[in-house]
Amino acid sequence: MLGHNPRKTARSVAVGVCAVLMAFACGNNGGGSGATGEAPADQQMLRLNDGTEPNSEDPTQQTYSYEASIGRRTFESLLLPKPDLTDVQGAAATGYDVSSDGMTYTFHLRPDAKWSDGKPVVAADWVYGFKHLLNPALAAGYVDPFFDGTIAGGEKYADVDVKSASAVDAFLNGLGLSAPDDHTFQVKLQAPSAYFKWVMTLWVAVPIRKDVVEAAAGGPVSSTDATKAEAWANDPKTIIGNGMYKISEAVAKDHITVVPNTGYWAGQPKIQKVIYYFITDANTAFAKYRTGDLDMLNVSTANVDTVRNDPKLSKEARLYDRLSTSWMSYNTKKTPLDNVKVQQALSKSIDRDKLANNVLHGTVRAFSTFIPKGMPGYDNGLADTQKFDPAAAKKLLQDAGVTPAQLSQLKLLTRDNTNNKTTNEFISAQWKENLGADIQLEVIDSKTVTSRIRKAQFDIYGPDGWIADYPDQQDWYDIFISSACHNLNWGCATLTGYDDLIKKADATKSDSDRNKSYAQAQKQVLESAGVGLLYQSLEYNVVKPYVQGSKITAIDDQYLPGDLYFHDIFIAKH
């Protein structure tokens, strides 16, 4: 989902955006001016549109930003990025120590941390939670490469026979995880990893209670039984977390409601109820915002001009920069997409400026490099690799020996939301205009799309992309390692020497040295990773002026500005 050094703060990035796009209202606060004082507790309710229903309420089994937004509320990781993204700070842990060889991280757990049912959180829960995450039989989407590539023993993850309980158990028991006492959780690494502190901010790296899992399953759970291992996450009554909130209601395909965990170590949040709706149609969601049924909303491209020209809505509009880039994913295991020249022809035949300005109304930045602007590793010198050039695109296609008629047999897999459909209709038209290829959209529901890309059941899929998980460019390069095939590297591109290059960079202690290796990797991604870069996201939202106290960062969860720092958001009197 979701990767920075000498650091540029989220606030400084946002200021730069405002200078360029003065048509939008900008700010580092969630709401507008004019509202003063907190509303009574019974009015401290925040209604959001998360857009898509999570595939699971078990954070370890989540992959997407829309899932993380709920996972972060109900569970808490060890560390949290500081608001300016310069470093980490304590969350479920008060802090941590690193051994002199860089191989062992010791986390000091908060002694006052409690589960949402009132029981204390202990280090054994962290060991169990990490083993649950790393259980190969459960195939969690975020294991590779964040955890199996760092934690000692994790390198054997892909080789485990998931049908053999003894093999799975041996793997899990061999991981570098231990609990020396109730308030100390220790993780041993395969190699020094300067970025590991950021991995520990990921919302999937959380504790889980063994007794809760077994009670929901009706008894002890075999390590190979994925169904019983996940039974606890199917009912709000058994979703016991260590986070700021707990789930009080879950209505399939409609909404999830969370309320405070009364035992949370940092005290009660100000918002007493958060309702996450799953409204896929942008116009329906926009209408609900206008009638006051939603308090915050991402503005679809179709409604940007309406907001811009409305005297009230324009004052509620906020433009937030994102450490995020989007692209088209080509299935490199299918002919003719297995030909790099065909991939480059498709990429060079998209007019990104028109897409950004005419279609998406300035809510994105036309972009043809990999690492986003505002993040260490950004290199505008690589922009020519995939720049819009219809003549060059046609020649590449001819050189590949592929005809427009052959390309016309392909389908563009598209999620059934307004923005994706609008974007892909334009891209399909670009391929028709500039290459003569009539590539039709295949529009289906988001859950089915997710299932299909994980099985490589697509020709072209997009917009795909990456939102920084943490502020270090290392986060981005693991997307295209060979083991990420069918898991982030959806097109399964094979890049010669890439895995070794990334492995070397990840284990290098010097930032300047590892950044040199990452620069080589970025060039390789742009040339042959099976993706066509499109744009860098600039999130355009409307926020009711009574939503106050938000701390905005450039890595907040999608469509939910202030999501990393939720404790002090409040509803003002209005």
Q: What angle do CA 307, 311, 316 make, to 5 degrees?
A: 60
CA dist 138 to 11, 230, 273, 332, Å? 39, 9, 31, 26
Query: Does residue 509 carry a pLDDT above 90?
Result: no
Query: Does residue 28 carry a pLDDT above 60?
Result: no
| Average pLDDT, integer, range 347-352 | 98
pLDDT bracket for residue 24 (50, 70, 90)? very low
125-139, 226-240, 510-524 — which is least confidently predicted? Answer: 510-524
User: Minimal CA–CA distance to 277: which of 261, 259, 294?
Assistant: 294
Kindly give, in sequence order, each residue whose CB lies less than 8 Å from that of residue 356, ignoring residues fewer than 6 positions away: 362, 364, 365, 366, 535
Q: Give pLDDT tens digits for 373-405.
A: 878 789 999 999 999 999 999 999 999 999 999
User: Minimal CA–CA distance to 444: which of 410, 409, 420?
Assistant: 420
Higher pLDDT, 149 or 114: 114
Tokens of 506: 């990840």
| Average pLDDT, integer, range 510-518 | 86
Query: Does residue 164 carry a pLDDT above 70?
Result: yes
116-125, 198-207, 277-286, 500-509 — which is least confidently predicted? Answer: 500-509
Q: What torsion do the CA atoms of 42, 56, 277, 33 make, to the nearest 10 degrees?
A: 60
Query: Does residue 153 carry a pLDDT above 70?
Result: yes
Question: CA 85 to CA 415: how far, in whole Å?
Answer: 31
Tokens of 339: 């030909």
- E strand or H helix at 289, and its extent? helix 282-290
- E strand or H helix at 255, and its extent? strand 255-260
Distance from the first to the final alpha carbon of the chain? 36
Percent of the chain with pLDDT over 70: 94
Domains of the chain: 62-231 (3.90.76.10), 322-537 (3.10.105.10)
Q: pLDDT value at position 14?
A: 29
Q: pLDDT value at position 471?
A: 83
Enumerate the β-bridge partners of residue 461. Answer: 329, 413
User: Minimal CA–CA distance to 480: which of 361, 357, 371?
Assistant: 371
Q: Give pLDDT tens digits for 445-469.
A: 998 999 999 999 999 999 999 888 8
Kindly give, in sequence order, each residue whose CB lies less than 8 Å from that of residue 519, ignoring residues fewer than 6 positions away: 377, 379
Query: Does residue 211 carry a pLDDT above 70?
Result: yes
Q: Mean pLDDT in the chain?
A: 91
| Average pLDDT, integer, range 112-132 | 98
27-31, 96-100, 309-313, 366-370 — which is least confidently predicted? Answer: 27-31
User: Minimal CA–CA distance to 356: which of 491, 561, 540, 489?
Assistant: 540
Query: Does residue 26 carry a pLDDT above 80?
Result: no
- Centre a 10 Å sphere on the Cβ of residue 78 and count the other Cβ atoms it contains: 28
Q: pLDDT value at position 228?
A: 97
| Average pLDDT, integer, range 303-311 | 95
- E strand or H helix at 245, and its extent? strand 245-251
Query: Does residue 141 carry a pLDDT above 60?
Result: yes
Percent of the chain with pLDDT over 90: 78
Q: Give pLDDT tens digits for 280-297.
A: 999 999 999 999 999 999
Question: CA 484 to CA 507: how far, in whole Å?
Answer: 19
Chain centre to alpha carbon of residue 15: 23
Amino acid type, 155: E
Question: CA 308 to CA 361: how far, in whole Å?
Answer: 10
Question: CA 82 to CA 553: how far, in whole Å?
Answer: 9
The number of CA neighbours under 13 Å toward the Cβ of 381 is 6
Query: Does residue 547 carry a pLDDT above 90?
Result: yes
Alpha helices in 437-561 (DSSP H): 446-454, 474-477, 498-506, 511-528
Query: Does residue 9 carry a pLDDT above 50?
Result: no
Backbone angles phi, psi at 296, to 5 degrees: -155, 140
Angle between helices 511-528 and 498-506 (to 10 degrees): 160
pLDDT bracket for residue 16 (50, 70, 90)? very low
Enumerate the β-bridge partners of residue 535. Answer: 326, 366
Q: pLDDT value at position 31?
A: 52
Q: pLDDT value at position 391?
A: 98
10 Å CB burial of residue 184 (0-12, 13-18, 19+) is: middle
Q: pLDDT value at position 6?
A: 24
Question: CA 185 to CA 122: how far, in whole Å?
Answer: 9
- E strand or H helix at 380, and its extent? none
pLDDT bracket for residue 216 (50, 70, 90)? very high
Question: CA 327 to CA 187: how far, in whole Å?
Answer: 35
Q: Reduced to 3 states, what is the DSSP secondary structure of residue 542?
A: strand
| Average pLDDT, integer, range 309-316 | 97
10 Å CB burial of residue 45 (0-12, 13-18, 19+) is: middle
Q: pLDDT value at position 36?
A: 66
Question: CA 128 to CA 207: how far, in whole Å?
Answer: 7
